Amino acid sequence: MRFYSQDFLPLTFNINIFIMKKLSLLFLLLFVISSSNSQDLSSDLKNIEKKVIQWRRYFHQNPELSNREFNTSKKIAKHLKSLGIKTQEGIAKTGVIGILKGNKPGKVVALRADMDALPVTERNDLLFKSKVNSTYLGKEVGVMHACGHDTHIAILMGVAEILSKNKDKINGTVKFIFQPAEEGAPEGEEGGAELMVKEGVLKNPDVDAIFGLHIGSGSPVGQISYKKGGIMAASQSFKIKVNGKQSHGSRPWGGIDPIMISAKIIDGLQTIVSRESDLTKEAAVITVGKIDSGVRSNIIPENAEMIGTIRTLDYDMQKKINDRMKEMVPAIANAYRATATIDIQKGLPITFNNHALVDKMLPTIKRIAGEGNVIEINAVTGAEDFSFYAKEIPGFFFFLGGMTPGNTNPYPHHTPDFFIDESGMILGVETMTNLVFDYLNN
């Protein structure tokens, strides 16, 4: 037990009042400084939105396929250099890196945007509609930003401009990663995030954390969705070759039909998911996306080839599915007197959001978007090669709403009618900018 002199109480009381007054003045000063910075950023955001939309429309009208983003990267590099940002080109073929050092030392944070378009012919009636054609897998195809990568580029260009004007407020370094070939490098080539990591994009300076976003045509403007841990599936591609025996179409008994056998194989593969996988644990998907066989209606061909993807959110499930596919494909072919081979690629890892990083940065996202607009979701079976960065360092990947509010039938990604409401992009700029400030300065 402690005893206090009555004569000492007034002195203690006066000292406490003095300290409280000083603290009040300090908090008031901090509030004024904070409000001033916020107001400056709001002005920057207001000025940048029109540019972001113009950039997006340019990239949408001039799309380029994976590992062929030559003009896209040139425009990005020109913009970064105009801002005084140290710029590196030709990373992982067409990638562009920008390095912005703040006025004070600190950690290094990376922001990533993907640049490639898809072999899709656009059906939208837009003034900036893509009319570009190219060659993909030996066929003439239309080219379209049917997954929103054009918006990702424009958003990150906007973030770079704002941060370059406010580098006196940055404690540390920002690395801007404009990445090619997220949709996958052409056959026989390396590319994407895996190649960027291999070429040292997370080094010199060493990155402490990385943020990425993906705009969505099915979630409303103003909304941000996230998930701790695995948010997007691992993705593997596979190729199946079926070898039969050619015959006249009028005499099927004289041959071994690889098209019919391919149909049986496709049917069998679906039972691996529907009858052999514990879907209460995690989702899984096997999709055959292309089948090629035959030359005319009255010839049973000699062979057929199928390509497809496997999506899994659990590595044990992935192994079991891979093993069963390797057993099933040749067995089904053998049952019909044919032979078949299957080749399964390593593919993309699960996109994993670091728990501690999400916990640290979620308050920033809720402050910017509004708590009611930040939604925790279940994992999705789409895949992202952002996963290669998140395997190496803490990463946080989230979804940005791009659907016009009230739209009850949005077109999905990778389709000719895919559409993004441009009013949703500025939230992406504001969120990414504030993630940088809050991560580096706190």
Tens of pLDDT, residue by residue over 99-151, are: 999 999 999 999 999 999 999 999 999 999 999 999 998 999 999 999 999 99
Chain segment 234-277, per-residue pLDDT in tens: 999 999 999 999 999 999 999 999 999 999 999 999 999 999 99
CA distance 20 to 360: 30
Q: What is the pLDDT of residue 25?
A: 53
Cβ(117)–Cβ(133) under 8 Å?
no
Chain segment 325-345, per-residue pLDDT in tens: 999 999 999 999 999 999 999
Identify the DSSP state of 154. Answer: H
16 pLDDT above the threshold of 70: no
pLDDT tier at 42, thresholds 50, 70, 90: confident
pLDDT tier at 24, thresholds 50, 70, 90: low
33 pLDDT above the threshold of 90: no
Rg (CA), the chain: 27
Cβ(46)–Cβ(38) under 8 Å?
no
CB atoms near residue 131 (< 10 Å):
11
Domains identified in the chain and CATH numbers? 39-233+350-441 (3.40.630.10), 237-344 (3.30.70.360)
Among 192, 172, 189, 190, smallest CA distance to 181 is for 192
